[in-house]
Amino acid sequence: MSRKGFMQLVVIPLVLLSLLLSAGIACQAAAKKGGTLVIAVEKDAVNLDPTLNNDLASSTVQRQIFDTLLAFDEENNVIPHLAVSWENPEPTVWIFHLRKGVKFHNGDELTAEDVKYSYDRGRDPQSRGQNVTKLGFIDSIEVIDKYTVKFNLKYPYAPMLEYGVYEIVPKKVVEQMGDAFGRNPIGSGPFKFVEWVKDDHITLVKNENYWLKDVNLDKVIFRPIPEKSVAVMELEAGGVDVVQNIPADLVPVVEKNKQLSLSSTVGINYFYVAFNTQYPGPISNPKVRQAIAYAIDMDAIIESIFQGVGGSRAYSAVSFPDFWAFDNKIKDQRPTYNPAKAKQLLREAGYPNGFSTTILTPPDMPRKKIGELMQFYLAQVGIKAEVRSLDFGTLLDDTYAGKAPIVVLGFNRGTDPDNYLYSLFHSDPEAWAVNASTMNMSRYHNPEVDRLLEEARKSTDLAERAKLYIRAQEIIFLEDVVHIPAYHRTEIAGFRNHVKDFIADPMGRVLLVTASRNVWLDK
């Protein structure tokens, strides 16, 4: 080996490696231990039992107390966590191998029994939980041995791994405590539950024996502060260290303050205008829906509401940046503002003089405003729209009952396109017949789309799935115009400068201690 070759092959990589290592060590050394992190959240948790409740407010806290079978990395890929590996020997069989020696906060070891119990409790209709329907694809779960658990599915289900990001509870403790477990949870995660004063605070302390890493923070306090403007003032005054989900109009306040920092990322969520495709009258006609899509300038509406800060235009339910199941042709071919074309389409559909209709919206600012601006644009082409902002319970009731011709809604659940496209657009005639709840509130039934979505959820070949999803999106958004996609909400977190290693998460989660992250305080 020549001297030069030796240099290239051995010395340079060694130097680089040592540089990298020392940089890594320098970073590690900088992280300080200890301190209390106070996080302002919008709502108090409802119930801290993760198998029953997974609303955002509850799961924000649950995530710090419990470990999940699998986890998301920062690019939202599924990675090992409590399970170190898994196999998929048959399309409907998944086998997970658990990490040994993981302890719950009470000292008991976490085993396959706990995994089976957590899923079974979540999918048991008697539990009255929010996971029952979501876990409906599971047929049975078997404990193979102490560290091996086998899932038998009812049908091949591509998003299975994403449902591995699911909190594991201690069977023995939950069986003893019953409903009380939701107020005194015990998990295996980075923080232990200490105290919960309803609507005031939840206190967690460091789990000294956390298996993943040595947790930096000593204590975490979640404080529900319903008014965002007050939460930001609390951040300025130093009463809290982190405020999640800062609305666009308060961003300048945080930016101006030198003691505060912002972190933002395009959210994995979807806000949209849905048509009831079976509503008697003009809205059931795809031509009319196309006309509406041409009549309103959704680009301008989203720009005027968010001014580039709080949300970005959506072109499909899954038009997330660089997302594998989305193709830019759906964006490029979308109906863009063209009132002349809208009028022509209305004429062709037999409504040359327009018609009257109703737009329902939830009471929050962005969605209410979308309704109002749509009303303005629709008036230009002769469509008289009445906008009604309702509280969420009433809105859902009306929508499930098919009483809403046009409704502005929003949604987020995980990252798999199946969660979005199958739930929102696969037909659900049984539910419609009895006005029951369904995610397909558009009452959209297209056998071709049903077939594409069914095939896509069964295939495990990503390229094949992408093809199917992109075809389905063409039909849904370009041909049938079931929705007018509105926006993906930007997740914006504000925090005091002494909070280190913290970022806003696209799914709105609070990430404190993960495989790649360990939040600490520099004070």
Beta strands in 146-209 (DSSP E): 148-153, 191-197, 201-206
230 binds another protein (CB under 8 A): yes
50 to each of 207, 338, 357, 389, how far by Cα in Å? 18, 48, 41, 32
Query: Binding another protein by CB under 8 A: which of 100, 146, 198, 384?
Result: 198
Which two tokens mark 116?
């089976």
Half-sphere exposure in the Cβ direction for 110 (13 Å, CA): 28
Q: How far is the CB of 224 from another protein (least distance, A)?
A: 6
Handedness of CA 137, 440, 42, 32 (dihedral sign): positive
Q: How far is the CB of 274 from another protein (least distance, A)?
A: 13
Q: Which stretch binds another protein (CB under 8 A): 228-236, 316-324, 492-500, 507-515?
A: 228-236
Give whichever of 323 and 411 is closer to another protein, judged by the CB atom. 411
Percentages helix, strand, coil for the chain (3-state, rounded to 5) are 40, 25, 40
392 binds another protein (CB under 8 A): yes
| Helix 462-473 / helix 447-458 crossing angle, nearest 10 deg | 160
Provide the mask over 247-286, with x wherever binding to another protein is found by CB under 8 A and - wherever it is not: ----------------------------------------
Q: How far is the CB of 160 from another protein (least distance, A)?
A: 17
Query: Binding another protein by CB under 8 A: which of 237, 280, 322, 447?
Result: 237
Which two tokens mark 183?
């107020």
Q: In this structure, what are the phi and psi dihedrals at residue 206, rounded to the nearest 5 degrees?
A: -55, 135
Provide the mask over 336-375, with x wherever binding to another protein is found by CB under 8 A and - wherever it is not: ----------------------------------------
The Cα 150–Cα 89 span in angstroms is 11
Q: Which residue has the tokens 């930001």?
A: 232
Compute how many other C-beta atoms are within 10 angstroms of the C-beta atom of residue 253: 16
388 binds another protein (CB under 8 A): no
Provide the mask over 133-162, with x wherever binding to another protein is found by CB under 8 A and - wherever it is not: xx-x--------------------------
505 binds another protein (CB under 8 A): no
The Cα 445–Cα 232 span in angstroms is 45
Q: Which stretch binds another protein (CB under 8 A): 301-309, 326-334, 429-437, 485-493?
A: 429-437
Which two tokens mark 462?
């990503």
Count of residues near another protein by CB under 8 A = 52
219 binds another protein (CB under 8 A): no
Nearest to 177 by CA among 121, 219, 222: 121
Give residues 402-421 in contact with another protein (rule: CB under 8 A): 411, 413
Which two tokens mark 467?
């093809």
Name the site residues for another protein (rule: CB under 8 A).
Answer: 43-44, 46-47, 52, 55, 125, 128-130, 132-134, 136, 179, 182-183, 197-201, 223-227, 229-231, 233-234, 236-237, 239, 391-394, 396-398, 400, 411, 413, 423, 430-431, 434, 436-437, 439
